[in-house]
């Protein structure tokens, strides 16, 4: 049945087609929730995101969107219902912040909303870049640039009811990597709200387990080494034994005042592959 999901159907991810097997993924990602893709460096998270947005075909398997192969959906149609924020996007020309956010509206140019300018303004305000609107993107800090790209991606996805039929998706590759603590939480709360209030499907690659524990509904864990990916509720997947096995870090879970479990790294981790000696972490 078509439930609006993005279905990774028996996907085999490899490093750029010819490389070794990174992961096997058979999972159904659903709208109206935040799914965090987690895993060690090189496990294939960005490669999976490229398969989910159709820019790179997996060596085996396929992505189904609303029950139909993603590859058969014309790129222009896809762009009206799916926005992607890649890591550190470079632009060849000296666009201003506002021009970059307006680019998010480009897929809708033939059927513009009555309030195009207001959508752009709202997305700049929501990400805290409205005050930078006339600045050249290249003149901004890394964190400011990341917030502009988030605003651009948010502007691309129409609110529920304004879209053509079908689910709507926001795919984010490490959107918080360059952000300070305040903006990390603000960005995650923002996409979480769009997901729960507006039905958007959010898929976000993260390294910070505590952001995932706080803001994600589900985790798609890519353990690396060609292992099968694991999809499940965030607190069921991110257990201490799993964290120790996948990231080689021992620690404990502590419950924050609002009831959210948070991972505290312990005093030592096991030896990392390719390193001569175990790495000692600071005592906690």
Ligand X SMILES: Nc1ncnc2c1ncn2[C@@H]1O[C@H](COP(=O)(O)OP(=O)(O)OP(=O)(O)O)[C@@H](O)[C@H]1O
Site for ligand X in 36-65 (CB under 6 A): 39, 41-47
Detail the DSSP E strand segments found in 58-195. 60-65, 68-69, 82-85, 169-173
Q: Is 166 in the site for ligand X (CB under 6 A)?
A: no
Residue number, 44 or 104, with CB nearest to ligand X: 44
Q: Edge-to-edge strands of the sheet including 68-69?
A: 21-29, 6-14, 60-65, 68-69
Stretch of residues binding ligand X (CB under 6 A), selected from 34-42, 120-128, 144-152, 268-276: 34-42
Residue number, 15 or 256, with CB nearest to ligand X: 15
Q: Is 229 in the site for ligand X (CB under 6 A)?
A: no
Least Å distance between CB 274 and ligand X? 13
User: Cα separation of 3 and 167, whole Å?
Assistant: 8
Q: Is 188 in the site for ligand X (CB under 6 A)?
A: no
Residue number, 6 or 38, with CB nearest to ligand X: 38
User: Cα separation of 22 and 14, whole Å?
Assistant: 5
143 dihedral zone (left: phi>0; alpha: psi -120 to 50; beta): alpha
User: Cα separation of 42 and 23, whole Å?
Assistant: 10
Least Å distance between CB 205 and ligand X? 6
Report DSSP state, residue 164.
P
Q: Is 90 in the site for ligand X (CB under 6 A)?
A: no
Structure tokens that stand for 283 in this block: 């005592």
Strands 230-233 and 218-221 come out as antiparallel
Q: Is 219 in the site for ligand X (CB under 6 A)?
A: no
Please tell me whether residue 201 adopts helix, strand or coil conformation.
strand
* Side-chain half-sphere exposure of 232, counting CA atoms within 13 A: 8
Q: Is 97 in the site for ligand X (CB under 6 A)?
A: no
Q: Is 31 in the site for ligand X (CB under 6 A)?
A: no
Site for ligand X in 5-24 (CB under 6 A): 15-16, 22
Residue number, 20 or 74, with CB nearest to ligand X: 20
Q: Is 76 in the site for ligand X (CB under 6 A)?
A: no
Residue number, 22 or 120, with CB nearest to ligand X: 22
Q: Is 165 in the site for ligand X (CB under 6 A)?
A: no
Least Å distance between CB 39 and ligand X? 6
The site that binds ligand X (CB under 6 A) totals a number of residues, namely 11
User: Cα separation of 241 and 163, whole Å?
Assistant: 42
Least Å distance between CB 234 and ligand X? 18
Report DSSP state, residue 47.
H
Candidates 210, 228, 230; CA nearest to 220 is: 230
Least Å distance between CB 43 and ligand X? 4
User: Cα separation of 206 and 192, whole Å?
Assistant: 14
Least Å distance between CB 45 and ligand X? 4
Strands 201-205 and 34-38 come out as parallel
List Cα–Cα distances, 94 to 84, 85, 170, in angstroms: 21, 19, 26
Least Å distance between CB 82 and ligand X? 19
Least Å distance between CB 15 and ligand X? 3
Q: Which residues bind ligand X (CB under 6 A)?
A: 15-16, 22, 39, 41-47
């Amino acid at each position: 049945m078509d439930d609006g999901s993005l279905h990774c159907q028996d996907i085999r991810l490899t490093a750029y087609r010819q490389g070794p097997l990174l992961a096997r993924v058979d999972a159904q990602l659903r709208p109206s929730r935040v799914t965090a893709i987690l895993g060690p460096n090189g496990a294939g998270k960005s490669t999976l995101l490229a398969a989910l947005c159709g820019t790179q075909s997996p060596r085996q398997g396929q992505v189904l969107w609303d029950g139909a192969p993603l590859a058969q959906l014309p790129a222009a149609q896809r762009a009206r219902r799916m926005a992607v924020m890649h890591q550190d996007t470079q632009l060849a020309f000296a666009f201003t912040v506002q021009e970059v956010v307006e680019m998010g509206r480009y897929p809708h140019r033939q059927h513009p909303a009555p309030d195009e300018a207001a959508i752009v303004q709202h997305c700049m305000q929501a990400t805290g870049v409205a005050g930078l609107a006339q600045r050249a993107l290249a003149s901004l800090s890394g964190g400011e640039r990341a917030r502009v790209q988030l605003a651009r991606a948010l502007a691309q996805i129409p609110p529920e009811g304004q879209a053509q039929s079908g689910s709507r998706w926001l795919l984010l590759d490490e959107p918080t990597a360059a952000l300070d603590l305040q903006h990390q939480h603000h960005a995650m709360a923002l996409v979480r709200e769009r997901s729960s209030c507006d039905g958007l499907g959010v898929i976000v690659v993260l390294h910070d387990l505590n952001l995932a524990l706080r803001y994600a509904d589900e985790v798609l864990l890519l353990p690396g080494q060609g292992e099968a990916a694991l999809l499940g509720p965030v607190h069921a997947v991110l257990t201490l034994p799993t964290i120790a096995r996948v990231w080689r870090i021992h620690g404990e879970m502590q419950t924050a005042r609002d009831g959210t479990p948070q991972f505290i790294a312990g005093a030592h981790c096991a030896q990392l592959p390719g390193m001569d000696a175990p790495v000692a972490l600071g005592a906690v």
